[in-house]
Amino acid sequence: MIKIVIPSTEFFDEVSNEFIPIPETTLQLEHSLLSISKWESKWKKPFLTKEQKTKEELLDYIRCMTINQNVNDIVYMAIPPKEFKRIVEYLDDPYSATVINELKIPGQPPRRKSSEFITSELVYYWLVSLQIPFECQKWNFNRLMTLIRICEIKNGPKQKMSRSQILAQNNALNKARREALHTKG
């Protein structure tokens, strides 16, 4: 979770020709599966794409991330650039100490990046199939994705040993037994 402070300011409303005061506001934001799901239900498109978001889309995502109740919509228009930058950095933060190094498994093709769009429903499917409790939908999204990746790795197919690896393992076991029993064969 990140907290941002929006200082008090005022906006001029051109329609009513008056100044609208905005009191200092502290927003608590959480980049989560739940937030992404809210945003996707409104915009009807995947959030997790490389496509650049418009300012309106980004501000709406910040609204979806907001944990505070009853925040006036005009407050979001007053987010200072410094705080906006902190929000963007927060979205990119892995929020985990885990580093996953993709290893090439001998005899298997390298893992390819999927061309499948990742939507909130797909991530919910992963939660169900990996038996991850739904309470994790409120976790930091990057941390949740790390957990999903770890489950995928740990539950994935076990690496099979080649014939030469099996023979080498058996030879090492036989040698150890001969030495332990003081025999020649």
Give me the tens of pLDDT residue by residue for the chain, a chain 185 residues long.
999 999 999 988 888 899 999 999 999 999 999 999 999 999 999 999 988 999 999 999 999 999 999 999 999 999 999 999 999 999 998 888 887 766 444 444 444 455 668 899 999 999 999 999 999 999 999 999 999 988 988 887 766 778 888 888 888 888 888 888 888 87
- DSSP letter at 139 equals S
Cα torsion 43, 52, 140, 143 to 10°: value is 130
Q: Residue 97's pLDDT is what?
A: 85
Go through the chain and tell me how many residues it has: 185
- Residues 102 and 110: their CA atoms lie apart, in Å, by 9
- Residues 185 and 174: their CA atoms lie apart, in Å, by 9
pTM for the full model? 0.74
Give kind and range of the element (H or E) at residue 22.
Answer: strand 18-22
Phi-psi domain of 122 (left: phi exceeds 0; alpha: psi -120 through 50; beta: other): alpha
- Determine phi and psi for 25, rounding to 5 degrees: -135, 135
Q: Residue 159's pLDDT is what?
A: 67
Q: Which residues pair with 2 in a beta bridge?
A: 29
The full set of domain ranges for the chain reads 1-185
Task: Centre a 10 Å sphere on the Cβ of residue 123 and count the other Cβ atoms it contains.
Answer: 20
Contacts of 7 (CB under 8 A, 6+ apart): 24, 78, 80
DSSP helix/strand/coil, 27: strand
> DSSP per residue over 107-143, as a string?
TSPPPPPP-SPB-HHHHHHHHHHTT--GGGGGS-HHH
Q: Residue 115's pLDDT is what?
A: 61
- Residues 6 and 1: their CA atoms lie apart, in Å, by 16
Q: Residue 110's pLDDT is what?
A: 44
Lookup: tokens for 176: 């150890």
- Residues 167 and 23: their CA atoms lie apart, in Å, by 75
